[in-house]
Amino acid sequence: MLLTISTTARPASDLGFLLHKHPDRVQEFGQSSGKATVFYPEAGEERCTAALLLEVDPVTLARSRGKGSPDFSLSQYVNDRPYAASSLLAVALADVFRTARAGRCAARPELAATALPLEIRLPALPCRGGPDLARRLFEPLGWEVSAEAVPLDEGFPEWGDSRYVTLTLTGTVRLADALNHLYVLLPVLDDAKHYWIAPDEVDKLVRAGEGWLGAHPERTLITRRYLGRRWTLARAALTRLAELGDETEEALEPAIPEEPSPTTPAAEPEDAATELEDSPAEPDDAATEPADAATEREDAPAAPRSLSGKRREAVLRTLEELGATSVIDLGCGQGELVGALLARPRFARVGGMDVSPMALTIAARKLKLERMPAAKRERLTLFQGALTYTDKRLTGYDGAVLMEVIEHVDPPRLAALERVVFGHARPRHVLVTTPNIEYNVRYEFLTGLRHPDHRFEWTRAEFAAWASEVAARHGYTVALSPVGEDDPEVGPPTQMGVFTRDQRS
């Protein structure tokens, strides 16, 4: 089975940097089903094409089939697996292009963050649903789709079409996004995974679908098919997607490279190499990148940060400047800020509260709570609760953070939240961030609010008025600051209020 990826972005041969595969080499990778080969049919300045060829060993495949497999009995020996793109190809793609799927490229980080003109071609793709389904799945992701049904037999047109299509995708897309689209949607179109579907497939789907699957109009069909129509797993995955908070907003953010910090080099997470897949490790990138890659890393700009990342950085920086040593994240979601707070020893006491038990379960898993060192675990408290009811567990912290929370609260209930946080818990400092609706005009494809669960979004004047009134009622002063690019016409994408309690109150 064959997959080709082509680009005309000049110099087109930079595709080798992004895929971490040198255009002048033919590279082979062992797979459980056979052998994957990466080569370049063309690699010039104007156009470059990388090909992934998966040669399936039918004997190995037959021996690995269990009785519950869709390929059991005679179909073990007579099937399309060596020839048609399927979950076998998706697994090979995940293994061979792991680093590219993660969107990491030390040699060309600006390219990894940039949408490129791409053409992807699959000569034979099983498609249970025909060409129309292929269009329904790929077109919402920005692809121009050519899906041509393959006839059962060209000599007998009256026999009709087979279930296979020749698929060509063209569009301007980040390479990492394109690979993740394929990784998820190839087995969805085939609708017959070749391996046992375990619960960890939910994690793989959510990671690969980050930023696009939650808002896809066919997300339920995609989720059910990807998880082999196991409704329990599909329900868990759909719940996870619904719990992603403001990921809809993040999907709107343009991928614009930023200038590197002159003093602090960007550091990748310790588990960056394993964050996408639990498959065998890819060969050392340095050995497979184009020859001059190593010489360019020292001067490479830092990877772009998402708006959510900028918010976390702004909150952490402000808390440190205020001298806070104990902080509670109110509406902590999946624990991103909680994890960042725990990573800084200066925060001796860290709390996280959320109304959703599912979100707290995900947070505990992401924070690796069961394996967390005892000293760090003693600093952390996670609990379920609602911000509209007084709770003694909210008291005793230097700082409290409401990061992208208030816009999820019905306006009539904001007074209750205000009373609980500012009147009952009364931390020394309260940090509140919320979207600036004036900035929404900068999101080209946005209609309405940034997230379907937002009850409102405020202008800068509306937020300033609310913050001033809350501060006056409860003995606080408030300072407003922008988060993200401060557009001279419409302001920043996020606005932050920093409340400090009067020492006399």
Largest separation between any pair of C-alpha atoms in the chain: 91
Where is average pLDDT lowest: 66-75, 88-97, 394-403, 458-467?
A: 66-75
- Give the sign of the dihedral formed by CA 386, CA 388, CA 393, CA 399: positive
Q: What does the pLDDT read at residue 505?
A: 64
- Is residue 269 pLDDT above 90, yes or no? no
Residue 198: inside a domain = yes
CA 400 to chain centre: 27
Residues in CB range of 198: below 8 A, 6 or more apart = none
Write the burial class of residue 483 (CB in 10 Å: 0-12 exposed, 13-18 middle, 19+ buried): buried
Residue of 310, 360, 370, 361 lying closest to 340 (CA atoms): 310
Residue of 65, 56, 47, 42 lying closest to 2 (CA atoms): 56
Residue 295: inside a domain = no
- Separation between Cα atoms, residue 422 and residue 406, nearest integer Å: 13
Residue 286: inside a domain = no
- Separation between Cα atoms, residue 436 and residue 494, nearest integer Å: 5
Q: What does the pLDDT read at residue 286?
A: 34
User: Mean pLDDT throughout 244-252?
Assistant: 47
Residues in CB range of 366: below 8 A, 6 or more apart = 334, 335, 336, 339
- Is residue 501 pLDDT above 90, yes or no? yes
Across the strands, what pairs with 350?
A: 327, 380
CATH number for 247? 3.30.1610.20
Residue of 346, 354, 357, 297 lying closest to 320 (CA atoms): 346
**pLDDT, greater one: 144 or 198:** 144
The half-sphere exposure of 9 on its side-chain side, counting CA atoms within 13 A, is: 21
Residue of 35, 77, 87, 63 lying closest to 196 (CA atoms): 87
Residues 252, 343, single domain; the answer is: no
Residue of 501, 428, 493 lying closest to 470 (CA atoms): 501
Structure tokens at 35: 């052998």
- Separation between Cα atoms, residue 290 and residue 25, nearest integer Å: 10
**pLDDT, greater one: 455 or 293:** 455
- Is residue 217 pLDDT above 50, yes or no? yes
Read off the pLDDT of residues 54-104 as tens digits, 9 standing for 90 and up. 887 766 555 555 554 444 454 555 555 556 567 788 888 999 999 999 888
Residue 281: inside a domain = no
Q: What does the pLDDT read at residue 304?
A: 43
Side chain identity at 207, as an amino acid letter? R
What's the pLDDT band for 419 if we cut at 50, 70, 90? Answer: very high
Residues 249, 178, single domain; the answer is: yes
Residues 197, 67, single domain; the answer is: yes
CA 227 to chain centre: 18
- Separation between Cα atoms, residue 155 and residue 157, nearest integer Å: 6
- Is residue 17 pLDDT above 80, yes or no? yes
**pLDDT, greater one: 475 or 259:** 475
What's the pLDDT band for 294 if we cut at 50, 70, 90? Answer: very low
User: Mean pLDDT throughout 474-478?
Assistant: 97
Q: What does the pLDDT read at residue 108?
A: 84
Q: What does the pLDDT read at residue 31?
A: 81
Residues 391, 469, single domain; the answer is: yes
**pTM, rounded to two decimals:** 0.50
Residues 151, 242, single domain; the answer is: yes
Residues 247, 337, single domain; the answer is: no
Q: What does the pLDDT read at residue 84?
A: 59
- Is residue 276 pLDDT above 80, yes or no? no
CA distances from 162 to 125, 371, 427, 437, 454 (A): 11, 51, 66, 50, 45
Q: What does the pLDDT read at residue 268?
A: 32
Residues 23, 119, single domain; the answer is: yes
Across the strands, what pairs with 354?
A: 384
Residue 339: inside a domain = yes
Q: What does the pLDDT read at residue 288?
A: 37
Residue 297: inside a domain = no
3-state class of 379 per DSSP?
coil
Residue of 450, 456, 474, 464 lying closest to 497 (CA atoms): 464
What's the pLDDT band for 504 if we cut at 50, 70, 90? Answer: confident
Residue 288: inside a domain = no
- Give the sign of the dihedral formed by CA 470, CA 342, CA 396, CA 320: negative
User: Mean pLDDT throughout 108-125?
Assistant: 90
First to last CA, the chain: 72
Domain span at residue 335 reads 307-501
Q: What does the pLDDT read at residue 283?
A: 36
Residue 362 near residue 394, CB atoms below 8 Å: no
CA 76 to chain centre: 36
User: Mean pLDDT throughout 321-343?
Assistant: 95
Residues 220, 125, single domain; the answer is: yes
What's the pLDDT band for 233 if we cut at 50, 70, 90? Answer: confident
Residue 291: inside a domain = no
Where is average pLDDT lowest: 174-188, 235-249, 323-337?
A: 235-249
Element at 205 (helix H, strand E): helix 200-208
3-state helix, strand, coil in the chain (%, to 5): 40, 20, 40
Average pLDDT over all residues of the chain: 82
Read off the pLDDT of residues 378-390 as tens digits, 9 standing for 90 and up. 999 999 998 989 9
**pLDDT, greater one: 70 or 111:** 111
CATH number for 465? 3.40.50.150
- Is residue 472 pLDDT above 80, yes or no? yes
Residue of 308, 373, 314 lying closest to 334 (CA atoms): 308
- Separation between Cα atoms, residue 280 and residue 113, nearest integer Å: 25
- Is residue 413 pLDDT above 80, yes or no? yes
**pLDDT, greater one: 196 or 66:** 196
Q: What does the pLDDT read at residue 162?
A: 83
Q: How many residues appear in the chain? A: 505
Q: What does the pLDDT read at residue 76?
A: 55
Residue 466 near residue 499, CB atoms below 8 Å: no
- Separation between Cα atoms, residue 77 and residue 317, nearest integer Å: 61
Residues 251, 367, single domain; the answer is: no
User: Mean pLDDT throughout 194-201?
Assistant: 76
- Is residue 438 pLDDT above 80, yes or no? yes
Residues 248, 322, single domain; the answer is: no
Structure tokens at 487: 């557009």
Q: What does the pLDDT read at residue 262?
A: 33
Q: CA angle, 247 as apex, 245 and 250 as ends, to 5°?
A: 140
Where is average pLDDT lowest: 82-86, 88-92, 189-193, 265-269?
A: 265-269
Q: Position of tokens 């179109």?
A: 189
Residues 229, 98, single domain; the answer is: yes
Q: What does the pLDDT read at residue 24?
A: 92
Q: What does the pLDDT read at residue 319?
A: 97
What's the pLDDT band for 264 if we cut at 50, 70, 90? Answer: very low
Residues 227, 322, single domain; the answer is: no
Q: What does the pLDDT read at residue 293?
A: 36
Residue 457 near residue 407, CB atoms below 8 Å: yes
The tally of domains found in the chain comes to 2
**pLDDT, greater one: 186 or 82:** 186
